[in-house]
Every structure is written in C-alpha cells, then in structure tokens.
Chains A and B, each alone.
Chain A
Amino acid sequence: MSVEKVKVYKDLMGENEKWAAETRKLLSGKNVRMINVIGSPGSGKTSLLERMVRDLGDKCAFAVLEGDVETTADADRIAALNITASQLLTGGACHLEAKLVYYALRDLPLDDLDMVVVENVGNLVCPAEFDIGEHAKIAVLSVTEGEDKPSKYPLLFHESSAVVLTKTDLLPYLDFDKAECLRHIEKVNPNIPVFEISSKTGDGVENWIEWVMSERHAGLVRNPN
C-alpha cells in the first residue's frame, strides 16, 4: 500500500457560478436588470425597498425577491404596496444561492419588468460569497451599526457596486463618525459611490433613485415592445 498525491485545481464555486450564469442569460434575454441588496438584520433593507416602491414605482416596473430564513413578513410588506413580491425561504441557510434565485425568477412575469430587486438574508458575511447572477451587489449599512463594519466585513464592501448608508435621520442622536465610516469604506473599495439616505424622511433618496435608474440603463437597450 502506498500513498499518492494528485494536483487538481478545481474551482469550488463552479456549480453556483453555473446557475448564476444561467440567471444572467435569462435576465439579459428579457432585458431585465437585477440588484442584490445585502446588509445586517435590521439595517433597513426592507424599509429602503418600501421607499423605492413609493419613489420609483411609476418610473420603473420592478419585482422584489425576499430572501429570509423563516416567515413571509417582508414579502407581505412589499406585496401590500401592490408590487410583485416572492418570498424565498432558505430554511436555515444564511444566504441565497443562484439556483434558488433562478427558479424564483422563472416564476416572475419578466416580460413586464424592468428590474428585479433581491433582498438577501440579513447577514454581512455569507451573502457576499455567493454570486446569484445579479448585475450589482448593494451593501446596506445603517448609522446605528458602527463606523468600522466595512473593515470588519471587507468582502461585501469589496464586491459591492454601491453602499447605501441608512437611517441618517438618527445622526443627531448618535456618536457616529461619518468621515471615519467613509474612510473604512474607501479602504476596502476606493471608488465606490456612497448614498446617505433616510427611508423615513426621504432625505437623499432622490440621488439613490437616480443612480439605480442609471444603473438600470447601463449596458441595456430598452426592449422596443
């Protein structure tokens, strides 16, 4: 009996990548853009989406996929605003994977949509690892979470195309050092745009919506139908 060793070099995210590529193909065939919204539990992701429904609703036809471990509470909140919303229950898993998102997308009326917004499971670590076929990841960080989160959870902020800093209406009551927070973001992603917003008062939402719309049009030719 002898021991032998072989070199392999096989990418371990291959299966997920395969489904992510299928998802991109499905979306580009239908001219639909998809963003993947990631942040901690309670960082204001669902409130941000509610605000987007209110402010973006007539400019852009979109649907929401809500990722959660349990309950349909978030999808119910969005559906109450007359937006197509599907709940993706991961049944314990801490993130969404591409295959689940692909099948959920196939149940959406993609021909009638401009954009799909995915709210990932509340978590700063695992969702950043898994490409779900989105065109852009969005990191949501609330001012109540502390300035150093981008350095503590660098992969998410590194992989994201924009940061939304939420709950800015609370700034007068907190010791939050915004310049310090921006410095932490710059360290892990030097040129990323940061949108400071309050979903409650609407402050800053306009700039965010403008970016989402320009992102929506980036690389896409509107379907003439």
Chain B
Amino acid sequence: MHELSICASIVDSVLEELKNKKIAPNKLRKCGIVAGALRQIVPEFLKDAYKMTTNGTGLEDSEIVIEIAALTADCPDCGWSGELKELNYLCPACDSVLKLNNGTELYLSDLEYIT
C-alpha cells in the first residue's frame, strides 16, 4: 500500500500548487500525475487512496487521472530503440546492456479547474 503514502504527497503538492496559483481547492476538477512503469503504481488503488486522502481538504470534487509512462530504452551497441514490456537490461536484438530512458518518474503533471 505505498499508494497511500504517495497519495499523501500528491495531496500536499496539489494544495501547495493551488495556493501558489491562488485557486481555491474546491475549484479543482482533475489532477494529473505521471508514474513510470517501474513505480509499480496500481491506478485503482491510487484512485481509492485519493478519495480517502482528499476527505476534508476541499479537494473532494476532484479526481485523479493517472498516466503510466512506458519504460523505454536504447542500445548503445546496435542502435535498437523501443519500449520494454518488463525491465530487462539486455538488448532484445544483440544482448548488450541497454540504456534506460525513463520508467521511474513520478510527478504531478497538470491541474484542471473551473473558473
């Protein structure tokens, strides 16, 4: 259940951003986050955790939209480049060690609100 800890961080970040932008929490409709595939986030758990964590914060009318960012890599030896369905550092074409591009990111990407 690391989703609950991560959600506490999401709610803090959202409230801080809204405050900086002088937007009332109850105006928020959607908050978008991007999670790399390696983060092992279960979107359904994160949505439930968001409902629990936002209770009493003014963010109750908003929903969380989660985008899972694919794990992509390049091969420095043969030039292979593509998406990995699972973490495998060995190039599918030549077995050399791949260079990962992303997959561990976790950030708040956008806020959608009514004016």
Identify the A interface with B (CB < 8 A): 1-16, 93-95, 97, 125-126, 129-130, 151, 154-155, 158, 186-191
Contacts and interface: CB of A to CB of B under 8 A. Distances in A.
Contacts of B29: 3
Contact of A9 (B5, B88, B109): B109
Nearest to B36: A155
Nearest to A126: B2
Given A126-B5, A151-B88, 13 more contacts: A3-B113, A5-B111, A7-B110, A10-B108, A12-B33, A14-B9, A15-B9, A94-B1, A95-B2, A154-B87, A155-B104, A188-B87, A188-B88
B97 interface: yes
Interface of B: 1-2, 4-6, 9-10, 12-13, 17, 21, 29, 33, 38-40, 86-90, 97, 104, 106-115
Contacts of B113: 3-6
A124 to B, nearest CB: 10
A12 B87 contact: no
A12 B111 contact: no
Given A125-B2, A126-B2, A187-B88, A2 B115 contact: yes
Contact of B10 (A9, A12, A154): A12
Contact of A187 (B12, B17, B87): B87
Contacts of B115: 1-4
A54 to B, nearest CB: 34
A190 B2 contact: no
Contacts of A11: 106-107
B111 A8 contact: yes
A129 B107 contact: no
A187 B21 CA distance: 44
Contacts of A1: 114-115
A112 B115 CA distance: 59
Contacts of B1: 93-94, 126
